[in-house]
Structure 1
Amino acid sequence: MRDWAKTLRHASFRGVPFWVDGEDPEVGRRVVAHEISGGDASLTEDMGARTKTIFVEAYVAGDLADVAGHALERACGAPGASLLILPMDAGETAHCLSCSRSRRKDRNGFIAYRLEFMKAGGAVAFTASGLGQLRTAFDAGVAAVSVLIAAQF
């Protein structure tokens, strides 16, 4: 029997780590329906693939949850696409479209996030090397925090 816990990757965006409670990638086709006046049938036209969107229920936890949460928010707010790594899928370049924080008073040390990413398309100037990730994280102002948080994983 497969040990899933050992095969899943640690999640991160711009090199900033987080935990994943759930992920919902959304793919499909762009289809237009042409409804003909006076007709009983419509014509459909396939316009190509939709841009992949990924919704992630993420969280940070522990004594440094506040620091980790701010690092994740800064990484999500930085311009441009970067490497998104999720537990089940291979890493891919994506833009963070939204980052919504949810903190509850009875769950101190735990901060939940609802993240929305869109797969980057076209010519994306990004390197997936470790040095490239460190540079990207540093540019987002979170390099020092990432190193501290990585010790928790």
Structure 2
Amino acid sequence: MRNWAATLFPGSYKGVPFYVEYDSASGGKRLAVHEHAGGYQSTVEELGKATEAFDVTAYTIGDFSDVQALALKAVLNAPGPGLLTMPIDPPMLATAERYWRTRSKRELGYVGFGITFVPHPTALGKALNLGNVNAAVAAGVGLAAAGMSSFFG
């Protein structure tokens, strides 16, 4: 039997890690439904493929979850697409369309995010560009600085 926990990828976007609680994908076709006056039959016209989207419930947790959440927020707001890694799907180039963050006083140390990603239909080899590397390095430096300040603060 497959050991699912051992085969899942860690979640990340532009190099910033997160955990995944849920994810869902949407897609389909764009349709124009023509309803004719006085008629009882409609005409359905296919207009091509609808844009796919991934809705992800992501979270950071632990002693540095607040700092990790700030790093995730920074890359979600950064311009341009980035490499999105999800637990089961292969890595893909995607753009974060929107997000919302949740916190609760009953779950301190847990910062949740609802994120909508739109994948790009490009080759994975084009995914790693200088902007993605800069965003990942900046996020990592921010995490390291926050961690060091807690030791010397």
TM class by shorter-chain length? 0.7 to 0.9
Counterparts in 2 of 1:2-151, with a 5 A limit?
A: 2-121=2-121, 126-128=126-128, 133-138=132-137, 141-145=138-142
Question: 1:125 & 1:8 partners in 2: Cα distance?
Answer: 22
Question: 1:142 & 1:100 partners in 2: Cα distance?
Answer: 19
Preserved CA contact (<8 Å) 2:93 2:127: no
Preserved CA contact (<8 Å) 2:67 2:143: no
Question: 1:14 & 1:147 partners in 2: Cα distance?
Answer: 17
For residues 76-111 of structure 1, the C-alpha deviation after alignment (integer angstroms, 9 at most, x for no partner) is 000111111100101111111112110111211111
Preserved CA contact (<8 Å) 1:15 1:146: no
Preserved CA contact (<8 Å) 1:33 1:44: yes
What is the TM-score with the length of structure 2 in the denominator?
0.84
Q: Using the TM superposition, give the Cα deviation of residue 146 of structure 1 relative to its aligned residue in structure 2, in angstroms.
A: 5.9
Question: 2:100 & 2:126 partners in 1: Cα distance?
Answer: 25
Preserved CA contact (<8 Å) 1:71 1:146: yes
Q: Name stretches of at least 5 consecutive residues in structure 1 with no aligned partner.
A: 149-153
Q: Using the TM superposition, give the Cα deviation of residue 36 of structure 1 relative to its aligned residue in structure 2, in angstroms.
A: 1.7
Alignment root-mean-square deviation, CA: 2.5
- Residue 142 of structure 1 aligns to a residue whose secondary structure is helix
What is the TM-score with the length of structure 1 in the denominator?
0.84
Question: 2:143 & 2:16 partners in 1: Cα distance?
Answer: 5
- Residue 88 of structure 2 aligns to a residue whose secondary structure is coil
Matching residue of 2:151:
none
Question: 1:126 & 1:16 partners in 2: Cα distance?
Answer: 19
Preserved CA contact (<8 Å) 2:102 2:111: yes
Larger-gyration structure (1/2): 2
Higher helix fraction (1 or 2): 2
Corresponding letter in the other structure for 2:136:
A
Q: Using the TM superposition, give the Cα deviation of residue 143 of structure 1 relative to its aligned residue in structure 2, in angstroms.
A: 3.0
